[in-house]
């Protein structure tokens, strides 16, 4: 038996019963919905996502068929209508957040580790671990626009790529794990990019981030102690080592590496970052890139995430302490709360202005929502082995 | 003759002709639209607004009946569905951005000078010049929730209020023009606010801003040379004078005052602000609040607006030089372009990630859109005496 689209929406819980009985006009008007308070939650074990809304904190729909979404991440179209999900299996899936369905899905590589969307919303870039390189797709059709092989050396070996982010001006920046190079791909003149290569990034860069203003690109190194910084506003782009003593990456596969650099916060002029191996959060001056302070925490930190105003830092931990969250008050540099959400707290996402934070508690099959003022739990929602949480406000941000 | 809602949408240009002939289901699905790329433009002479979208740069609809909207400003609900417009005549108008119609309109004071929405999206606060004080409304119903009279001194005189912005934690901060005090109204415990008063702000504060992290509140003074700063993260809130020599406000009515503090930019650790009276842009260190540099510009600057990444500053000017825009490259501190959009460039708004900027050219009855990389004009759109431009991405920002 087939159902009408409206009936399907009703069964999926996205429409109320009275609406089915209403006039077509009323139905149409009732279906109108804004997208600024939407989000999605990756359900890693089942290849599915939940579409959620943060105003009343409800799940709108489960969408299945996304393949291997362990470590998946997402970006949004600039109107916040479509999500692009980068799966571990090389799958790139476009989701209609209003209809709650897959628009298109392509398997673009063998092992993908994240992607980005250009500032004009037209290009989707995907970073690949297997076979390496970066592929760029049309955001509407998901058709391949550019294939950037990321070859290096005399033998033109293909490098794995990491740390792919968008920059203003239809640009992407990413780093070659095998080559120790960072490349800026400039699509401002069309779909054939100009590539600028920055050498001597260091040995085995495993991950990277760019600051929210698109200026400072920082790569972590597996093969060396310390990090590499590139000031992307400089006339001549060059790599500089910073934070000697920060430590090397600890696990060989870039994509499995913890702590992710994504987990760094920038707040009130300083970077807040998880120490490697130690039970500490480090503070680094945002101009000089030197360490200024350390804050002792409960375990080995994984993510140190700043509330959007930067006044609080929420920290989760590596196993076996991954049932715990600590909240740091940045002005006093003190831990003000220790929470025990449950087994395996994997990810957190703040509402855009930071009044609440959502967190995935994988082992409890739950997503929990906390008020960031009272630090009390305000909602618990079921989810199947939840991991990443991504809200649509990301559409408006640089460098994700 | 009356028309159905769909027919009305069709006539308003929001639906295409084929849609009217389609099935109700198709109609309903076709009406779905995301809100992340919407915005509105104030048409000051006609009491109307244009609803626009920034992806294809088109006008979706004109909405009329908003009263006196000279100097009007707007905030958005956290789902980006509704705009709240603060008119000069004390009118507070709630607009449905998807249906393109007025949901409700109340005249809440005699002369309003701006408003804010709480971080949880539940409260709308309006600052009043006549009769003074601040009124707070329920964001859904626009019913009055709290009336804060802003009285001061022995005689309990009612003060005009200026510089009203939201802070994290269901708080608003505003300043009393007549009293020289700043008040923080804390609604975290319910609809009866706790009020904290900070005295000695200075003589006749005419306007104020808060930084995007909600930490630094800065008020301009009409009666004194310099500005006042409050660190809202401090344990004890107190007013400190900064930037001695910045100059006094120049016109007596706070609301007519130019340059607005709203026109200050914060970029890469520094404030960029229009000098008063001089043909200069000032740079002020973001930590020490001391002047670090000056950049010579074409005329008396009104707004110095940072592109979202902070790498460019776009400046407009007071009459008679208000036909001109200059673009400053912040790293080199040089004017890289002088544009002549036309008579009376009143306001600019960047797309959320800054790839384009929209500007109101009042005297030409035009809105012009520029690519911020090429600095070329990419679109001209008709508008009746346009002034303020406000995009929905503001929904996700602190301190507007």
B65 vs A6, more confident: B65
Which pairing describes strands B325-329 and B334-339: parallel, antiparallel, or unpaired? antiparallel
Determine, for residues A393 and B396 on separate chains, whether the beta-carbon distance falls below 8 Å: yes
Tens digit of each residue's pLDDT (9 = 90 or more) over A34-74: 999 999 999 999 999 999 999 999 999 999 999 999 889 99
Interchain pair B34, A98: CB under 8 A: yes
CA distance A359 to A353: 16
Please tell me the total count of domains within chain B.
1
Local confidence band at B131 (pLDDT 50, 70, 90 cut-offs): confident
Least confident among A312-326, A339-353, B20-34: B20-34
Distances from the Cα of B375 to the Cα of A226, A310, B329, B378, angstroms? 39, 33, 12, 9
Nearest to A98 among B32, B78, B81 (CB): B32
A34, A119, A233 ranked by CB distance to B311: nearest: A233
pLDDT of residue B256: 38
**CATH number for position A129:** 2.130.10.10
pLDDT in tens, A202-212: 999 988 999 99
Residue A193 pLDDT exceeds 90: yes
Cross-chain residue pair A213–B310, CB shorter than 8 Å: yes
Q: How far is B110 from chain A (nearest CA, A)?
A: 31
Query: Scanning the structure block, which residue is given the tokens 């709630």?
Result: B94
User: How large is the average pLDDT for residues A14-22?
Assistant: 53
pLDDT tens digit string along A119-135? Answer: 999 999 999 888 889 99
What does DSSP say about strands B325-329 and A345-350: parallel, antiparallel, or unpaired?
unpaired
Considering CB atoms only, which of B31, B99, B121 is closest to A55? B121
- Cβ distance A72 to A387 under 8 Å? yes
Asked whether residue A279 is assigned to any structural domain, the reply reads no
pLDDT at residue number B242: 94
Which domain covers residue B161, as residue numbers? 112-253
Average pLDDT of chain B to the nearest whole number: 90
Residue B342 in domain: no
Number of C-beta neighbours around residue B255 at 10 A: 20
Where b means 16+ CB within 10 Å and e means fewer, B113-144 reads bbbbbbbbbbbbbbbbbeebbbbbbebeebee
Calculate the average pLDDT of chain A.
Answer: 90
Strand, helix or coil at B187? Answer: coil
CA angle B386, B392, B395 (to 5 degrees): 130
Give the residue on B whose Cα is nearest the Cα of A166: B353
Q: Do A25 and B32 touch (CB under 8 A)?
A: no
B4 vs A contacts (CB less than 8 Å): 25
pLDDT score at A254: 46
Set of chain B residues whose Cβ sits within 8 Å of the Cβ of A119: 353-355
A144 in any annotated domain: yes
Mean pLDDT calculated for residue range B226-239 = 95
pLDDT value of residue B5: 52
Q: How far apart are CA B249 and CA B388, in angstroms?
A: 22
User: Residue A300 falls within a domain, yes or no?
Assistant: no
Dump pLDDT digits (tens) for B250-284. Answer: 555 444 334 567 767 788 889 999 888 889 999 99
Closest CB from B25, B309, B398 relative to A168 = B309
- CB pair distance less than 8 Å for A215 and B309: yes
Q: Which of B31, B309, B392 sits opposite A214 (nearest CB)?
A: B309
pTM given for the model: 0.93
Does residue B13 contact residue B60 with C-beta atoms inside 8 Å? yes
Q: So what's the pLDDT on residue A131?
A: 83
Beta carbons of B268 and A35 less than 8 Å apart:
no
Closest CA to A333 of A245, A395, A272: A272
Please indicate whether, in this complex, the C-beta atoms of A27 and B24 are within 8 angstroms of each other. Answer: yes
Give B284-335 pLDDT, tens digit per residue: 998 899 999 999 999 999 899 999 999 999 999 999 999 999 999 999 999 9
Within-domain flag for A153: yes
Predicted complex ipTM: 0.92
CB contact under 8 A, B398 and A214: no
Check residue B4 and give its pLDDT.
52
Residue of A nearest to B121 (CA): A55
Residue numbers in A near B35 (CB within 8 A) = 34-36, 79-80
Q: Mind telling me how many Å the CA of B116 is from chain A's nearest CA?
A: 13
Does residue B117 form part of some domain? yes
Mean pLDDT check: name the lowest of A168-172, A201-205, B59-63: A201-205
For residue A24, the model assigns a pLDDT of 67
Question: Is residue B334 situated within a structural domain?
Answer: no
Lowest mean pLDDT among A178-187, A366-375, B153-162: B153-162
Per the CB < 8 Å rule, is B168 touching A287? Answer: no
> DSSP of A20-47, one letter per residue?
HHS-HHHHHHHH----TTEEEEEETTTT
| pLDDT higher than 80, residue B121 | yes
Task: Note whether residue B201 is domain-resident.
Answer: yes
Task: Give pLDDT, residue A360.
Answer: 97
Average pLDDT of the segment spanning A163-188: 96
């Amino acid at each position: 038996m087939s159902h009408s689209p409206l009936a399907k929406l009703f069964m999926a819980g996205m429409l109320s019963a009275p609406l089915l009985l209403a006039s077509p006009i009323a139905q149409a008007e009732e279906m109108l919905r804004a997208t600024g308070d939407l989000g999605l939650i990756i359900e890693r074990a089942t290849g599915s996502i939940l579409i959620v809304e943060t105003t009343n904190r409800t799940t709108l729909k489960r969408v299945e068929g996304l393949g291997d979404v362990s470590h998946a991440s997402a970006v949004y179209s600039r109107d916040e209508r479509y999500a692009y999900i980068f799966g571990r299996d090389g799958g790139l899936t476009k989701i209609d957040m209003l209809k709650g369905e897959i628009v298109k899905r392509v398997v673009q590589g063998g092992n993908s580790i994240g992607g980005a969307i250009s500032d004009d919303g037209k290009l989707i870039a995907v970073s690949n671990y297997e076979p390496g390189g970066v592929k760029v797709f049309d955001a509407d059709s998901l058709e391949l626009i550019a294939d950037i092989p990321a070859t290096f050396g005399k033998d033109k070996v293909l490098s794995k790529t990491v740390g792919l982010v968008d920059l203003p001006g239809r640009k992407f920046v990413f780093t070659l794990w095998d080559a120790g190079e960072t490349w800026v791909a400039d699509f401002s003149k069309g779909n054939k990019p100009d590539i600028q290569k920055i050498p001597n990034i260091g040995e085995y860069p495993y991950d990277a981030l760019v600051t929210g203003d698109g200026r400072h690109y920082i790569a972590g190194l597996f093969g060396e102690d310390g990090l590499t910084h590139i000031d992307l506003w400089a006339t001549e782009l060059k790599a500089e080592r910073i934070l000697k003593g920060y430590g090397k990456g600890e696990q060989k596969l870039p994509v499995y590496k913890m702590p992710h650099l994504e987990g760094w916060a920038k707040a009130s002029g300083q970077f807040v970052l998880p120490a490697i191996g130690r039970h500490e959060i480090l503070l680094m001056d945002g101009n000089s890139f030197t360490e200024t302070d350390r804050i002792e925490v409960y375990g080995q930190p994984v993510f140190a995430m700043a509330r959007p105003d930067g006044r609080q830092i929420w920290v989760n931990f590596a196993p076996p302490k991954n049932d715990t969250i600590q909240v740091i008050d940045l002005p006093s540099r003190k831990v003000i709360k220790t929470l025990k959400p449950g087994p395996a707290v994997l990810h957190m996402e703040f509402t855009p202005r930071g009044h609440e934070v959502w967190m995935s508690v994988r082992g409890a099959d739950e997503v929990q929502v906390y008020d960031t003022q009272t630090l009390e739990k305000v909602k618990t929602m079921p989810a199947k082995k939840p991991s990443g949480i991504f809200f649509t406000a990301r559409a408006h941000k640089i460098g994700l």
